[in-house]
Amino acid sequence: AQSVTQLGSHVSVSEGALVLLRCNYSSSVPPYLFWYVQYPNQGLQLLLKYTSAATLVKGINGFEAEFKKSETSFHLTKPSAHMSDAAEYFCAVSGYSSASKIIFGSGTRLSIRP
């Protein structure tokens, strides 16, 4: 069984500050890990994904995440927040097989203060 836990349903940071969104995963098999962003009334857009290559994954819009097996974590960071980063962020996990499904976390709403 696989699952992800996102710590903090709402995170608020000032514009220009560091963004840190936390995600811990549980998986009985080596996982694929994802971060998605969702803007209001829209579908999901893939920010980045980990597929067992480099542990530090760089994504779009300046985001990156580091896979830490010892901590079962895949936290999302961005050095300097921008107002346009305000959105809902979902961490997700899947297995390697073709039958694997993506399991989503509960989401973290990111607010940016001017």
Partner 1 sequence: GAVVSQHPSRVICKSGTSVKIECRSLDFQATTMFWYRQFPKQSLMLMATSNEGSKATYEQGVEKDKFLINHASLTLSTLTVTSAHPEDSSFYICSAREGGGAHNEQFFGPGTRLTVL
Residues at the site binding partner 1, with contacts judged by CB under 8 A: 32, 36, 41-46, 49, 51, 90, 94-98, 100-107
Residue 56: exposure state from Cβ atoms within 10 A (0-12, 13-18, ≥19): exposed
For partner 1, the closer of residues 81 and 91 by Cβ is 91
For partner 1, the closer of residues 5 and 72 by Cβ is 5
Minimum gap (Å) between residue 50 Cβ and partner 1: 11
Q: Which residue has the tokens 């971060």?
A: 35
Minimum gap (Å) between residue 16 Cβ and partner 1: 27
Residues 6+ apart with CB under 8 A from 74: 23, 24, 25, 33, 35, 50, 65, 66, 67, 68, 91
For partner 1, the closer of residues 53 and 56 by Cβ is 53
